[in-house]
């Protein structure tokens, strides 16, 4: 008879560090464009009394995340890092009146990811096995690129296709912003011309940009144009809060409608799922509340018959979390991968690599399965040592 293993001793949290990345922040295509030195992504380290450290990522400017961590410190100090859902929910419950969905929620997202990383390291299991199991060993990444004018657009797609990518999403940039339907179509046609054989293309209008100029009629017209060209989905075609318009668009469009990247916590997703606003829902694990919240949204989406494809415009740690979720749930066939981002390609000790089929392996090592390289991180984070010191 095999005896049960003794219970794990608690791992008290001793401190949490928030370290902004800067110097290579990728352009976002925003009307108020990101500069390379803007610290829009922030790495998180949760340190414990036993010396086990977990890492996470938050999509929010470094100074705001640092302030959020300082605000939350009395709530997390001494808590057991082996209980990510309970600890994260404590942080949510005691801070939501400061603005559910704002910087505090984004910061908690990074903390929660780091807590799951610790739980995996302490148990010897990957996060995917802990949150749902292992339905697959690999998944297809779609290369996420900014829209460009015809000519440069095809060149960008071809350049990344040569690296092995088979699926692409193009978004933001000039699309829908020049009041020129012929230009919109030309950009899409240019991207399609550069796809590899059997390649897939998705289109992101970027309706969450500041002062997005278009409404439902533009979205309906553009959806027809995209459907005629076999585009796989139409993302963020409307302003994020236009629930009724999203419902109408989804009912009338001939291609799948995707959205939800700016929504946070499961409560914000429920009205959109219940109303039938999306064919594909796209929560971002570095914004929504972390892995604890993301998996609840995935379950909820599956109950409504809505496909889940996580939004992943963040960092190597965000991609690692997305990969773990992609393995943990049935029917997940894609993850987002920013094309050419140093914060995805140049932070991990073992960089991500595509196989001959254009697929990414889902790590099965303990925790997130991705280790940060201190020297690489130090190129983009002046205080990188805070992520690794005990």
Q: What is the CATH number of the domain that holds 30?
A: 3.30.390.10
Q: Indicate if 378 and 230 belong to the same structural domain.
A: no
Phi, psi of 292 (to 5 degrees): -60, -45
Domain membership flag for residue 2:
no
**C-beta separation of 336 from 313 below 8 A:** yes
One domain for residues 247 and 327? yes
In a domain, 168, yes or no: yes
| Residue-range definition of the domain harbouring residue 199 | 129-361
Q: Is residue 4 part of a domain?
A: no
What pLDDT, on a 0 to 100 scale, did the predictor assign at position 37? Answer: 95
7 in a domain, yes or no?
A: no
Q: Is residue 5 part of a domain?
A: no
Asked if residue 182 is part of any domain, the answer here is: yes
Do residues 63 and 144 both lie within one domain? Answer: no
pLDDT given at position 197:
96
State whether residue 15 is helix, strand or coil. Answer: strand
Distance in angstroms (rounded) separating the CA atoms of residues 347 and 349: 7
Find out whether 343 and 373 touch, Cβ atoms under 8 Å. Answer: no
Q: Rounded distance, CA 38 to CA 25, Å?
A: 6
Write out the two tokens for 335: 């993850």
pLDDT value at residue 204: 98
Assess whether 89 and 168 both reside in one domain: no
pLDDT at 102: 87
The reply to whether 202 and 103 lie within a common domain is no
Alpha-carbon separation of residue 293 from 131, 213, 277, 390 (angstroms): 11, 32, 20, 28
In a domain, 51, yes or no: yes
Do both 118 and 142 map to the same domain? no
- Same domain? For 70 and 192 the reply is no
Q: What is the CATH number of the domain that holds 331?
A: 3.20.20.120
Do residue 62 and residue 121 come from a single domain? yes
The pLDDT profile of the chain, 390 residues, written as one tens digit per residue, is 666 777 789 999 999 999 999 999 999 988 899 999 999 999 999 999 999 999 999 999 999 999 999 999 999 999 999 999 999 999 999 998 887 788 999 999 999 999 999 999 999 999 999 999 999 999 999 999 999 999 999 999 999 999 999 999 999 999 998 889 999 999 999 999 999 999 999 999 999 999 999 999 999 999 999 999 999 999 999 999 999 999 999 999 999 999 999 999 999 999 999 999 999 999 999 999 999 999 999 999 999 999 999 999 999 999 999 999 999 999 999 999 999 999 999 999 999 999 999 999 999 999 999 999 999 999 999 899 999 975
* 92 and 181 belong to one structural domain: no
> Looking at the structure, do residues 296 and 194 belong to the same domain, yes or no?
yes
Residue-level pLDDT at 1:
61
Domain count, the chain: 2
Which pLDDT score, from 0 to 100, does residue 97 have?
A: 84
Q: Are residues 238 and 343 in the same domain?
A: yes
Tell me whether residue 300 is in a domain: yes
Do 257 and 139 lie in a common domain?
A: yes
Which pair of tokens denotes residue 353? 């690599």
Contacts of 206 (CB under 8 A, 6+ apart): 29, 171, 172, 173, 175, 176, 212, 236
At CA 66, angle to CA 16 and CA 117, rounded to 5?
Answer: 35
Question: In the chain, at which residue ranges do the beta strands (DSSP E only) sit?
Answer: 13-21, 41-48, 53-59, 138-146, 167-171, 200-204, 234-235, 257-259, 280-281, 307-308, 334-338, 360-361
């Amino acid at each position: 008879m095999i005896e049960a293993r003794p219970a794990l001793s608690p791992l008290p949290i001793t401190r949490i560090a928030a370290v902004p990345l800067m110097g290579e922040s990728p352009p976002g295509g925003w009307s108020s464009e990101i500069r390379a030195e803007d610290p829009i992504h922030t790495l998180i380290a949760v340190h414990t009394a036993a010396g086990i450290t977990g890492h996470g990522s938050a999509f929010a400017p470094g100074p705001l995340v640092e302030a959020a961590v300082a605000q939350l410190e009395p709530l997390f100090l001494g808590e057991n890092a082996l209980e990510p859902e309970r600890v994260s929910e404590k942080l949510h419950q005691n801070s939501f009146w400061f603005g559910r969905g704002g910087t505090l929620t984004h910061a908690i997202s990074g903390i929660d990811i780091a807590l799951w990383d610790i739980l995996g390291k302490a148990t010897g299991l990957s996060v995917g096995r802990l949150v749902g199991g292992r339905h697959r060993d690999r998944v297809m990444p779609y290369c996420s690129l900014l829209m460009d004018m015809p000519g440069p657009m095809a060149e960008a797609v071809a350049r990344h296709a040569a690296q092995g990518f088979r699926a692409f999403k193009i978004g933001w940039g000039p699309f829908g912003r020049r009041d020129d339907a012929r230009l919109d179509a030309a950009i899409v046609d240019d991207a399609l011309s550069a796809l590899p054989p059997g390649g897939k293309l998705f289109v992101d209008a970027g309706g969450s940009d500041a002062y997005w100029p278009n409404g439902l009629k533009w979205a309906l017209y553009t959806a027809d144009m995209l459907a005629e060209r076999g585009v796989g989905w139409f993302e963020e075609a409307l302003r994020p809060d236009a629930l009724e318009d999203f419902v109408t668009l989804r009912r009338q469009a001939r291609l799948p409608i995707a959205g939800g990247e700016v929504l946070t916590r499961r409560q914000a997703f429920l009205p959109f799922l219940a109303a039938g606003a999306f064919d594909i829902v796209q929560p971002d694990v570095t914004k929504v509340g972390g892995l604890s919240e993301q998996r609840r949204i995935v379950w909820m989406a599956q109950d409504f018959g809505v496909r889940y494809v996580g939004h992943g415009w963040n960092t190597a740690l965000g991609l690692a979390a997305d990969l773990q979720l992609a393995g943990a749930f049935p029917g997940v066939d894609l993850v987002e991968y920013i094309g050419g981002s140093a914060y995805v390609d140049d932070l991990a000790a073992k960089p991500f690599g595509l196989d001959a089929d254009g697929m990414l392996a889902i790590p099965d090592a303990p925790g997130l399965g991705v280790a940060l390289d201190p020297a690489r991180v130090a190129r983009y984070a002046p205080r990188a040592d805070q992520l690794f010191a005990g």
